[in-house]
Structure 1
Amino acid sequence: MFVDSHCHLNFPELRGQLPQIRQAMAQAQVDRALCICTTMEEFAEVHALALAYDNFWASVGVHPDTENLHEPSLEDLLQRAGLPRVVAIGETGLDYYGMQERKGGRSIADLQWQRERFRTHIRAARACAKPLVIHTRSASQDTLAILREEGEDGGQHSAGGVFHCFTETAEVARAALDMGFYISFSGIVTFKSAQDLRDVAAFVPMDRLLIETDSPYLAPVPYRGKVNSPAYVPHVAQQLAQVKGLPLAEIASATSRNFEQLFLRSQQAQPC
């Protein structure tokens, strides 16, 4: 009934609890999940989850905040994207948040390596016709600009994809939608302070809407502050149902259908 379109089940907080997580998912009617890769070093572990369970899939990519680990080449990404049950490139994108605290006082100009890495991921996605999973934080204008420069205009040859864990403005959402992207909401949309984000969610069309947990992070109300799990994604769906004035089942159906359209169609694409 529900699909978690973005989770990190290989992370230490969840890795040792997979039987319990899967049982909780079944009880919550969460029947599928996309396991997201954030480093090349962890890809084998993420991919193993997708190979072991027929309701899990995997992505391949390097998170924009990752430094001092293996830098992926176009060939690295394409080789792994061609493996069974790998359905997306990412998560990738740009993260300029906390330039003083988190990035040692560096300037945005100093993060050219992030922008080059993002371009490599976009080119890989276009080469193998698999969608991008985009992370953007305090960097939306550069994210959109690079996508446009790389030809992601919603046309026939675009890779497309999803802006995951969306927290940007309605203007950014509109630009992403105009470029053919989907918008995914996480537990943040349930937070009391997130009315602006709920307003954005009301604006996103039903045929471009996805839900996720980003677990083990960002647990929705009423679990905020606890370790998140795919079993909690119905709470995100319930908030969206309230925002849009629709039955919960309609949100579940639409987001599941959108997941299939975006990610599972790539399984019929040509090998990378």
Structure 2
Amino acid sequence: MLVDSHCHLDFPDFAGDFDAVMARAGEAGVTSLLTICTHLSRAEQVIAVSERAPQIVCTVGVHPHEAAGEAPRNVDALIGFASHPKVVGFGESGLDYFYEHSPRAAQQQAFRQHIEAARTTGLPLVIHTRDADADTAAILEDEMAKGPFSGVLHCFSSTPALAHKAVALGLYISFSGILTFAKSGPLRDLAATLPLDRLLVETDAPFLAPVPKRGKRNEPAFVAHTAASLAKARGIDLKTLAAATTANFFRLFAKAKTACV
């Protein structure tokens, strides 16, 4: 039993064979899926996708790439979605200084708004961070001091320092197909040292297909390859790893316990 803790099922990549994608996920033992919102203007479409199958839940939020044009007017614009039974968290939000499709100030403001929504509702935040370790750590530490909130650093490929800071703050770390890449030895070394009860696995589908599926469209079934890589890095069997990451998912996204039926 596995959970794909981060995918984008509303993307057009899945429009033509959605039912087949879901069937393959089930065959691979993926029993729950979290589909992630990137544009607040598409929140209703993301929710609609989550309603297509009982094992799918979703988040609502604005990707840092879109912060300049889609940042919430205020935190209530996010919180208003929290009452929907399929909405189990916020995001993905955070900082991306690699592409900087939105100004850093806009990204930081939107990030803090999402944190406030998470703190207010008790729902977790899905955090995107790329080439922004120092500012991500500073904002997380500053906001945690204002009051606790929960969340996960998704598709983790940053420094050990950021991973350990996040864990110390009570957050979770999610690994994607990047973990399986040949060049990712240091990332696997890090994954082997982090507390097992803070780890999740994901696809980030349709992006970042894992080995041996590189070059193909990623899909939720492929999370099994990332889970196998993580299990190998930690020296444990896949069944143990799957049970742990599934339990971690439902501990973090507690609302999903009733939403996934």
**TM-score where L is the length of structure 2:** 0.94
Q: Secondary structure at the residue paired with 2:106?
A: helix
Distance 2:67 2:175 in 1: 26
Following superposition, the deviation at residue 265 of structure 1 comes to 4.3
Alpha-carbon contact 1:88-1:131 (below 8 Å) kept: yes
Letter in 2 for 1:117: A
1:182 to 157, 172, 175: 172
Letter in 1 for 2:167: L
Partner of 1:22: 22
Distance 1:67 1:180 in 2: 26
2:233 to 243, 259, 267: 243
2:128 to 123, 135, 140: 135
Aligned residue pair count: 257
Alpha-carbon contact 1:184-1:212 (below 8 Å) kept: yes
Partner of 1:107: none
Q: Give CA deviations for 1:129-171 in whole Å, capped at 9, x if unaligned.
A: 1111000000011011111111258xxx511110000001111
Distance 2:238 2:257 in 1: 29
- Alignment RMSD: 1.6
Distance 2:154 2:118 in 1: 16
Closer, same or farther: CA 53–266 of 1 in aligned 2, 3 Å: closer
Letter in 2 for 1:77: L
Distance 1:259 1:123 in 2: 21
Q: Secondary structure at the residue paired with 2:63?
A: coil
Partner of 1:149: 142
Following superposition, the deviation at residue 81 of structure 1 comes to 1.8
Q: Give CA deviations for 1:225-269 in whole Å, capped at 9, x if unaligned.
A: 11000000010010011101101000100000001100024778x
Alpha-carbon contact 1:189-1:198 (below 8 Å) kept: yes
Aligned pairs for 1:188-203 (under 5 A) are 188-203=178-193
Distance 1:177 1:55 in 2: 28
Q: Give CA deviations for 1:2-31 in whole Å, capped at 9, x if unaligned.
A: 100000011111122211101101111111
Q: Secondary structure at the residue paired with 2:117?
A: helix
Alpha-carbon contact 2:68-2:106 (below 8 Å) kept: no
In structure 1, stretches of 5+ residues that fail to align are 104-109
Partner of 1:232: 222
Residue 123 (1) aligns with residue 92 (2): no
Letter in 2 for 1:86: V
Partner of 1:43: 43
Distance 1:266 1:215 in 2: 20
1:214 to 172, 194, 204: 204
Following superposition, the deviation at residue 172 of structure 1 comes to 1.1
Partner of 1:80: 81
Q: Which moved more, 1:210-219 or 1:38-47?
A: 38-47
In structure 2, stretches of 5+ residues that fail to align are none
Letter in 2 for 1:63: H
Letter in 2 for 1:94: L
Partner of 1:11: 11
1:171 to 161, 186, 211: 161
Distance 2:38 2:105 in 1: 19
**TM-score where L is the length of structure 1:** 0.90
Partner of 2:251: 261
Distance 1:122 1:9 in 2: 24
